[in-house]
Chains A and B, each alone.
Chain A
Amino acid sequence: MADALMVTLTSPAEPYVRADLAFHGVDHSKASFEGRLFINNATAGPDTVTDDANGYAGSFWIFGHGGCAGAEGHCEPPQERRAFDFRPPHQLIPVSKRVIVTGRLQALVAPGADFTVRIIAVVRPAHAASLPGNLVTDLLHLERVDLVTYQ
């Protein structure tokens, strides 16, 4: 069971000592999943070997909310927070993830070059089979991906 997205980014022309792929606005309302990352591999899938030759760059892991246990509207985060609302934030506000990819980026992408990152949402098949279909399909929703480098 896997969904996939791809994004194009640009490597910095200058040297860097650390590079992070930052994923913003990541949905975590459904099943837990691994976000598996491949650089410059547009055809990578959940069965692609996670090695250097295939451009594997690392993974992030989403510990999922497991679907909605409440009534209608229970799992919909408010669009904005009222003044004087001192309650904890809604559980399903999207999260950010960061994967440190320094070595992989330096090895796979020339300075100043465009490159792609393919993100594959992976749920182990046995686990996916134990869950309702709505929890393991259409998993991968995120707002933005940044490459952040440090000198």
Chain B
Amino acid sequence: MNATAAAVRRYRKSATALTPAEVAALRTAFGKMLALSDDRGFEYWAGIHGLPLPISCVHGTPFFLPWHRAYLYYFEQHLLDAGGQVSLPWWDWSTQAGIPAAYGSGELAGAPVSGIPAAQFTGQNIPEADRTRRDPGPTGPGHGPQGLPSAGQVTDLLKLSDFEDFSTQLEDLHNQVHMWVGGTMSEIPIAAFDPLFWAHHAMIDRIWSLWQLAHPGAGVGTLPHDHPLGPFPTLTVGQVLSVTGLGYDYAASTSSGRPNG
């Protein structure tokens, strides 16, 4: 066992399982990224998904999951630069409890929508906004398509054995959650400016990771492993297939001890 590798591995935790100290550290790290106006900053990384042009995100193809894993990886590296030990938490929307309390105030509740040239609001696209906003749908079970995806839907997803089938169905749940949050999260060009975007996508990445554990060897269908995931220059499809290979893992809970003697 490589003790050094084990020691540096990070666990992404549920947003509802964070301790008050972890929430504070996450807010501090987001705050530091928000204050940076260069290519280490929140504005720069939020803008890669949509505006300012070019819109780089990948949707509607089997590259959806690898591209967003690379995107979160790069964002998290800058979050670590800003905050030391803070990993991206995941928002388990399948509990149908709604937006986690940690994302209801402070630096996680919203952010400026900035860095987009005025000329890119053409009157034919989404209107210019100074700040993110949310307009969430109903919480709790029984709301059908107006509500959030259920735990049962996620369980059914995890039973699918073909990668492209799984990816297509997971992307649709992902889209549903974007629209449930409403406001900024509802539209591709500015969705990533909402701090909740990153917790939502960590959940999507977690579900893919759980699917990979349930279907070892299933791979990524016909996707070429050497396909580059632009604009992330050091990562290809093959390099993002393992979360532990990227230095992190997902945990519902962790418990550690040191042997005596």
Contacts and interface: CB of A to CB of B under 8 A. Distances in A.
Bound pair (A, B): yes
Contacts of A98: 165, 168-169
A5 interface: no
Contacts of B124: 67-68, 132, 134
Contact of A66 (B125, B135, B230): B125
B246 interface: no
A118 interface: no
Given A32-B175, A61-B175, A69-B51, A127 B145 contact: no
Q: For chain B, which range describes its interface: under 10, 10 to 19, 20 to 34, or 35 or more residues?
A: 35 or more
Contacts of A63: 59, 174-175, 178-179, 188
Nearest to A126: B135
Given A32-B179, A126-B182, A59 B145 contact: yes
B127 A124 contact: no
Contacts, number: 107
B145 A34 contact: yes
Nearest to A59: B145
Nearest to B58: A88
B120 A127 contact: no
Contacts of B123: 132
Contacts of A56: 144
A32 B172 contact: no
Q: For chain A, which range describes its interface: under 10, 10 to 19, 20 to 34, or 35 or more residues?
A: 35 or more
A100 B59 contact: no
A134 B122 CA distance: 12
B122 A97 contact: no
A30 to B, nearest CB: 9
Nearest to B182: A127
A91 interface: yes
Top 9 A-B pairs ranked by shortest CB distance? A67-B125, A95-B60, A61-B175, A50-B144, A66-B187, A66-B126, A69-B120, A63-B175, A59-B145
Interface of B: 50-51, 53, 55, 58-61, 120-127, 135, 137, 144-146, 165, 168-169, 172, 174-176, 178-179, 182-183, 186-190, 230
